[in-house]
Structure formats: C-alpha cells, structure tokens
Amino acid sequence: DIAVLSPYSAQVRAVRRALRNAGVDCAAVGLEVSSVDAIQGREKEVVILSTVRANAEGKLGFVADWRRLNVALTRARRCALVLGD
C-alpha cells in the first residue's frame, strides 16, 4: 500500500513511464503513482513525495502551496519520504 505522489502531472507521467519501462506491475505490488490532488481524502501506508521542480527562474510553483503540501504529507499512515532536487 504505497503511493508515489507529485504535485506535477508531468512528473507523475515520468514516474509511471519509468516503472512501466522497468517492468513493474504497479497494481500487483500495491503501488499507486498519482498527483497530490488526486489522492486527497485517501491514505496509504507509505507515501513517497517527489517534489522535483526544475525551471530557469528557480520558482517553486505548486511546491510552495502549503495546502498541497499538507495534503501530500498527511496521506501517509506509517512513513512519508520526501524527495527533491
């Protein structure tokens, strides 16, 4: 019961593609890759939050939205891991 979350749809697509290319069957291993908005109202045992943000201006975008961060960080029942660049 694991979720990999990102506030960015492009990052969600990239993670899904990487897992698919690696031969990972997400449903079989209980892994959900989703946007922060899509998981609101649900919980997972483990949440991995990918906050990766890259742009020329160095702006944080959705990562600076405390409401989205609150949703992302409170979805985990047991463990929350935050990854960034």
3-state class (DSSP) for residue 76: strand
More confident of the two residues 81 and 61: 81
Q: Averaged over 13-31, what is the pLDDT?
A: 95
Find the length of the chain.
85
Average pLDDT over residues 5-29: 93
Mean pLDDT of 46-69: 76
Question: pTM of this prediction?
Answer: 0.83
Q: What integer pLDDT is reported at residue 8 of this predicted model?
A: 86
Q: Which domains does the chain have, with CATH numbers?
A: 2-83 (3.40.50.300)
pLDDT of residue 5: 95
Cβ 62 vs Cβ 8: under 8 Å? yes
What pLDDT shows up at residue 56?
A: 67
Across the beta sheet with 31-35, what order do the strands follow? 31-35, 2-6, 44-50, 76-83
Residue 40 has pLDDT above 80, yes or no: yes
